[in-house]
């Protein structure tokens, strides 16, 4: 017997256009938050751009959000590297302290 995943249809509004999007019920809240963020980004870009074509604004918003995502990933990777180095340093200090006590 195959399990079917329940799906609902959510209405997303971007620059006063409505889109119907299928998603799992537990994903609806995140989808709506993402749509609100995207709508805000699109409005910001439309307000500062000479060309107000919907497709152009959507592509510029997608590029802007992708850029933000990549910057956050790079920052997270740098932080994880720093944490790893800190843990290694603490481990060495602990091993040195234990070795000193054993002698």
For residue 52, the Cα-to-chain-centroid distance in whole angstroms is: 26
From CA 61, how far away is CA 82, in angstroms rounded? 32
- What pLDDT is attached to residue 79? 92
Tell whether pTM > 0.75: no
Of 54, 61, 51, the C-alpha closest to 16 is 54
Token pair recorded at residue 86: 């800190």
- pLDDT category, 68, cuts 50, 70, 90? very high
- What pLDDT is attached to residue 60? 92
Q: Are 27 and 42 in contact (CB under 8 A)?
A: no
- What pLDDT is attached to residue 4? 60
Helix 28-48 and helix 54-102, axial crossing angle in degrees, nearest 10: 120
pLDDT in tens, 27-65: 999 999 999 999 999 999 998 877 679 999 999 999 999
Token pair recorded at residue 96: 């040195």
Enumerate domains of the chain plus CATH numbers.
8-102 (3.30.160.880)
């Amino acid at each position: 017997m195959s399990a079917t995943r329940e799906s609902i249809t959510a209405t997303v509004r971007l620059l006063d256009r409505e889109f119907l999007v299928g998603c799992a019920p537990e994903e609806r809240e995140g989808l709506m938050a993402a749509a609100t963020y995207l709508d805000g980004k699109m409005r910001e870009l439309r307000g500062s751009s000479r060309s107000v074509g919907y497709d152009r604004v959507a592509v510029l918003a997608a590029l802007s959000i992708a850029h933000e995502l990549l910057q956050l990933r790079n920052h997270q990777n740098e932080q994880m590297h720093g944490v790893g180095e800190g843990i290694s340093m603490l481990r060495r200090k602990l091993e040195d302290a234990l070795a000193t006590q054993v002698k």
